[in-house]
């Protein structure tokens, strides 16, 4: 339970920080041009709750998807986990959003958001790899 909570807390921090910097600092203008960001002021509390829910879920899933043998190297185990989650995010979120929303450039949206959906869970996966690693 201790590793689960530590993993969830650290994942919340990493998840919220990467989402904030990516969407509201680095690429805010691009997302606005694409028509993705329609709100003048983002709902930061809701974004935090979403990241907390994601962190709790990922901290629960990590030890179920990555075996203790695979996690002998927490960086490689974390990357593997992150890529698995990232691919699922791209399928469940990015492609569906691109198919249903009036975007100014579907290929640009798919490219930039797919990059984010691979980077964020990979960073979280590496963090979880260190939380769940075997201590010798």
Print pLDDT tens along the chain (136 aa).
Answer: 899 999 999 999 999 899 889 988 999 899 989 988 766 787 889 988 998 999 999 999 999 999 877 778 999 999 999 999 999 999 999 999 999 999 999 999 999 999 999 999 999 999 999 999 876 5
Q: For 36, which DSSP code?
A: -
Tokens of residue 128, six digits? 């979880």
pLDDT at 110: 97
- Domain extent, residue 58, equals 2-132
Can you give the pLDDT at residue 104? 94
Provide DSSP, 59-125: HHHHHHHS-TTGGGSHHHHHHHHHHHHHHHHIIIIIHHHHHHS--S-HHHHHHHHHHHHHHHHHHHH
Quote the number of domains for the chain. Answer: 1
CB 9 within 8 A of CB 127: no
Model pLDDT, residue 35: 86
**Cα separation of 58 and 104, whole Å?**
32
User: How many whole angstroms separate alpha carbon 119 and alpha carbon 38?
Assistant: 24
Supply angle C-alpha 129, 77, 8, rounded to 5: 30
Rounded to whole angstroms, the Cα distance separating 114 from 117 reads 5
pTM, 2 dp: 0.87
């Amino acid at each position: 339970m201790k590793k689960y909570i530590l993993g969830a807390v650290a994942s919340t921090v990493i998840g919220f920080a990467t989402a904030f910097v990516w969407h509201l600092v680095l690429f805010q203008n691009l997302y606005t041009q694409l028509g993705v960001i329609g709100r003048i002021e983002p709902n930061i509390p809701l974004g935090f709750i979403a990241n907390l829910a994601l962190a709790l879920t990922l901290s629960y899933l990590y030890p179920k998807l990555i075996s203790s043998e695979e996690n002998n190297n927490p960086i490689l185990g974390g990357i593997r986990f992150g890529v698995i989650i990232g691919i699922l995010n791209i399928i469940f979120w990015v492609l569906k959003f691109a198919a249903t929303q009036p975007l100014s450039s579907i290929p640009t949206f798919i490219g930039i958001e797919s990059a984010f959906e691979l980077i964020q869970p990979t960073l979280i996966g590496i963090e979880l790899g260190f939380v769940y690693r075997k201590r010798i």
